[in-house]
Amino acid sequence: MAIVTLTMNPAIDSAARTDRVLPTDKLRCGAPRFDPGGGGINVARTVAALGEPVTAIYPAGGHTGAFLEQLVRESDIPAHAVATAEPTRENLAVFADDSGEQYRFVFPGPRLTPAEQHRCLAAVERYAAGADYVVASGSLPPGVAPGFYQVAADVAAAHGVPLILDTSGPALRAIRRGVFLIKPSVRELAQLVGRALPDRDRQVAAARELVDAAIAEIVVVSLGAEGALAVTAERSRWFVPIPVPVRSGIGAGDAMVGGIAVGLTRGYDLDDVIRLGIAAATAALTTSGTAPGLRSRIDRLYEEQRRTAALVTEAD
């Protein structure tokens, strides 16, 4: 297998449309869409869409957990589900037709017991042997200590497997060493370093602090409509975004991580790794719910970037 993903706080992502969002009134919605969700599962869906082998590890419990497992199977993603006593969470996104705004309601998730957490780490250890990369993505549910992802990174490192991490808040602050690549948003990076990052120079400086501290070898900062930064010890580069009409922004960051993981697995140089990540994120923006982009569209966007030299400038 090439890539293993870990999702500690998966969800059933429900999405629907309504005419407008108002207080108190009943809001009549269209038919709902249900997707398997959570950072690592979304990453796995993009990896699978790009035709690379992937295994998704995640906890699941209750009737919602059974439904999540069904949705993952229907996505044709090999998976290892760790049974939990408490039920898997559901999230809701509602698109208002009158304003074009999307409203997202995100719930905390089940409380995992120490034994359940241990079984998740045991699954990582099992599948890491023979993997090219482990991707840990998403929030941590109640009951899981912020240092959990550091333990996962240590487990992967013990097998010589690089870990890619996409998380935020206390879970990101708890990382001390040994992550291969971290992908914070600029907002998450600012929260991590404790100061505003209003311009490119300060964004690069903050990302390089993580590299200099040996927290990560590569920091990819997603800048939303302004593109992305890739920072290593030797260089920093800025990549322009691809403008497209947005149908849903949910899961686009996860799609970027999926594209990055695929590019690394294929042995691309770092510039092309980031281009593939941007292409995957852009394609996801044009789909409904949290669906990944079609492989044909991702490939076309990637090749367009290569032809037009989407690498704009050294960011330093």
User: Which amino acids are annotated catalytic?
Assistant: 254
| Encoded tokens for 251 | 């899961």
Return d(Cα 221, Cα 210) in angstroms, integer: 12
Closest CA to 135 of 170, 112, 162, 116: 162
Beta strands 228-231; 236-239: pairing state: antiparallel
* Phi, psi at 229, each rounded to 5°: -115, 140
Return d(Cα 221, Cα 228) in angstroms, integer: 6
Q: How many CA atoms lie within 13 A of 28 on its CB side?
A: 1
